[in-house]
Amino acid sequence: MRFKMFPSDSLGVKALKAVSVVLPDEVAIFAVGGVNIDNMADYAAAGAAGFGLGTGVYKVGMSENQVSDNAKAHVAAYKNIRSHSSAKNPSH
């Protein structure tokens, strides 16, 4: 089961952490809205299993290369977060 927390930037990391404590472990929380490379690690540390990305990757008028570069940067940030998470908790 999945839970979409939107808008994450308005609700904040503290709200995600509070929600994650009361939901069953099998519910994956996805932070959506205002998530970017600079705050992904904070949301992950608070319990986010994944992210919905929009304007961090694409904004009207961006070139295909800009969108591609943004997407690659977000994927790299996510992989970095997950690799550090796995190193701390090998069960994930």
Is the Cβ–Cβ distance between 39 and 64 less than 8 Å? no
The answer to whether the beta carbons of residues 7 and 30 sit under 8 Å apart is no
Domains of the chain in start order, with CATH, are 2-88 (3.20.20.70)
pLDDT value at position 6?
A: 96
For 8-52, write each residue's pLDDT tens digit: 999 999 999 999 999 999 999 999 999 999 999 999 999 999 999
91 has a pLDDT exceeding 60 = no
Band of pLDDT at residue 86, cut at 50, 70 and 90: low
Provide the token pair at 76: 């790299």
